[in-house]
């Protein structure tokens, strides 16, 4: 998600005219279309078109960034690649669970060393560290991107965190190259349908977080708060890298730390990755950053329980909460820099970015209509919306359904975040909402 998300969504060429989705859509002041009345499910199908995107080939701290084409194909691609979860305040997370295909049992047994299980809020020793020379906000930054010299205005003032360094956790020391994966898509709209293939096999919970108990299993909390000497890095060219975050989620920590049960403040962002450190399969990632794998696979389920309180603020990027998924290669190089696979080269309709799915996003301060949008070569956004959970939490399931080349975003009436799911439970998340007025279908072509 780009920080100026409202502008991107409102003006992106990939967003199809609202008239294709509902005949009585209304356009707001910043160009976004909304159909009347909230829905409980938004489904995207036809997500099986091959293509390619520009993957980062090399990246260094001097500002050099080069790209190479990476092909993708198959159901869900490129969203079958590893994905990271991202949240922007004002938002409070209650539960997170990730499920992938696997054999369920009455008691889940993990191979030794598979996941790190943490409980409660870790308290880290602190020490002061010297800051490198900082570029002032408003200064011009120059870098070489794919052989071309580009400039931009610096908007970042540098890290503010103090915490102890811990070398026992993974840090990217050099940019590495990846093996190629495949997939792509296009856009168009439709109005109703049901899954034609049935999901088979059980799913097991591979990552879990419960805010109230402080339990965290199979995942790590990161954010763009890199601080040399603590974790991650920061410089005047690329800004802050990914780093471990403290229990408040607002500063770098020296090691994996469990996010405490708190509300993310306006514009504050945090990311969730798997607890598997990166290897060469991650592709290129920023030197000296904290690099972990996301959640890969063409079939997977993300269930998150959260609230999006209304703070009443109206400033830039304030009171605009969001929950979205990114191709994890994006934040591993630079979520908000020019050196990532987020943006395509626009050479053809089939050469776009590597993938972002906005699950529920508020596009203007204080709005109560949360929209969903796909960003990549064949991106599309739905003019239907889900009600913003201002006063009480909602549970939202995102199902990547390889059997039908579909993705379902559905508000669940009930869910217990158990250690496994049957194929019937997953199928119920994918099946069309029985009340057709609460259901929207988008089709890629």
CA–CA gap between residue 240 and residue 223 (Å, rounded): 9
- The answer to whether the beta carbons of residues 51 and 377 sit under 8 Å apart is yes
**CA–CA separation, 241 vs 73, rounded Å?**
30
Question: What pLDDT does 8 receive?
Answer: 29
- From the list 92, 82, 47, the residue with the least C-alpha distance to 292 is 82
Nearest residue to 31 (alpha-carbon basis) of 360, 349, 371: 371
Distance CA 306, CA 182 (A): 32
Cis, peptide link before residue 28, omega less than 30° from 0? no
Tens-level pLDDT at each residue, the chain (445 residues):
433 222 223 222 233 333 335 877 887 767 788 898 899 999 999 888 888 899 999 999 999 999 999 999 999 999 999 999 999 999 999 999 999 999 754 433 333 334 555 555 333 222 223 333 344 444 444 454 555 545 444 443 444 333 333 434 555 544 443 333 333 333 333 333 444 677 777 999 999 999 999 999 999 999 999 999 999 999 999 999 999 999 999 999 999 999 999 999 999 999 999 999 999 999 999 999 999 999 999 999 999 999 999 999 999 889 999 999 999 999 999 999 999 999 876 565 556 789 999 999 999 999 999 999 888 766 677 789 999 999 999 999 999 999 999 999 999 999 999 999 999 999 999 999 999 889 998 887 6
Length of the chain: 445
Helix/strand/coil (H/E/C) assignment for every residue in the chain: CCCCHHHHHHHCCCCCCHHHCCCCCEECCCCCEECCCCCCEEEEECCCECEEEEEEEEECCCCEEEEEEEEECCCCCCCCCCEEEEEECCEEEEEEEEEEECCCCCCCCCCCCCCCEEECCCCCCCCCCCCCCCCCCCCEEEEEECCEEEEEECCCCCCCCCCCCCCCCCCCCCCCCCCCCCCECCCCECCCCCCCCCCCCCEEEEEEEECCCCEEECEEEEECCCECCCECCEECCCEECCEEECCCCCCECCCCCCCCCCCECCCCEEEEEECCECCHHHCCCCCCCCCECCECCCCEEEEEEEECCCCCCCCCCCCCCEEEEEECHHHHHCCCCCCCCCCCCCCCCCEECCCEEEEEEECCCCCCEEEEEEECCCCCEEEEEEECCCCCCEEEEEEEEHHHCEEEEEEECCCCCCCEECHHHHHHHHCCCCCHHHEEEEECC
* Structure-token pair, residue 122: 């870790």
CA distance 350 to 437: 33
State residue 379's pLDDT score. Answer: 67
How distant, in Å, are the alpha carbons of 154, 254, 365 from that of 147?
Answer: 21, 35, 38
Q: What pTM does this model have? A: 0.79
Report the distance separating Cα 256 and Cα 227, nearest Å: 15
User: What would the two tokens of residue 315 be?
Assistant: 């400033």
């Amino acid at each position: 998600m780009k920080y100026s998300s409202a502008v991107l969504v409102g003006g992106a060429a990939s967003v199809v005219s609202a008239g294709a989705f509902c005949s009585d859509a209304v356009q707001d002041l910043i160009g976004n279309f909304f159909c009347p009345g909230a829905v409980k499910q938004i489904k995207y199908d036809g997500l099986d078109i091959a293509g390619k995107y520009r993957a980062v080939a090399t990246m260094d701290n001097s500002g050099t960034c080069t790209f190479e084409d990476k092909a993708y194909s198959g159901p869900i691609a490129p969203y079958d690649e590893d994905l990271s979860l991202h949240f922007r305040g004002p938002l409070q997370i209650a539960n997170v669970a990730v499920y992938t295909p696997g054999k369920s049992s009455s008691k889940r047994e993990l191979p030794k060393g598979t996941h790190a299980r943490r409980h409660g809020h870790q308290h880290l020793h602190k020490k002061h560290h010297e800051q490198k020379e900082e570029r002032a906000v408003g200064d011009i930054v120059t870098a070489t991107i794919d052989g071309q010299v580009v400039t931009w205005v610096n908007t970042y003032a540098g890290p503010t965190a103090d915490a102890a360094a811990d070398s026992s956790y993974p840090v990217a020391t050099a940019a590495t190259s990846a093996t190629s994966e495949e997939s792509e898509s296009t856009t168009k709209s439709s109005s109703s349908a049901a899954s034609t293939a049935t999901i088979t096999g059980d799913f097991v919970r591979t990552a879990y977080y419960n805010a109230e108990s402080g339990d965290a299993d199979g995942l790590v909390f990161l954010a763009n708060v890199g601080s040399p000497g603590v974790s991650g890095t920061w410089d005047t060219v690329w800004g802050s890298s990914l780093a471990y975050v403290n229990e408040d989620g607002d500063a770098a920590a020296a090691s994996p730390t469990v996010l405490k049960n708190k509300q993310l403040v306006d514009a504050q962002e945090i990311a969730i990755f798997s607890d598997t450190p990166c290897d060469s399969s991650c592709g290129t990632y920023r030197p000296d950053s904290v690099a972990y794998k996301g959640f890969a696979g063409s079939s997977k389920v993300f269930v998150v329980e959260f609230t999006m309180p209304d703070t009443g603020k109206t400033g830039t990027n304030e009171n605009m909460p969001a929950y979205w998924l990114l191709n994890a290669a994006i934040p591993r190089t630079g979520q908000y820099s020019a050196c990532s696979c987020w943006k395509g080269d626009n050479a053809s309709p089939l050469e776009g970015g590597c993938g972002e799915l906005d699950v529920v996003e508020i596009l203007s301060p204080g709005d109560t209509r949360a929209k969903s949008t796909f960003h990549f070569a064949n991106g599309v956004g739905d003019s239907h919306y889900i009600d913003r959970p201002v006063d009480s939490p909602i549970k939202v399931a995102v199902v990547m359904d390889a059997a039908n080349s579909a993705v379902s975003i559905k508000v669940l009436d009930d869910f217990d975040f158990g250690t496994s799911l049957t194929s019937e439970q997953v199928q119920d998340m994918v099946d069309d909402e029985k009340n057709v007025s609460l259901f929207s279908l988008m089709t890629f072509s």
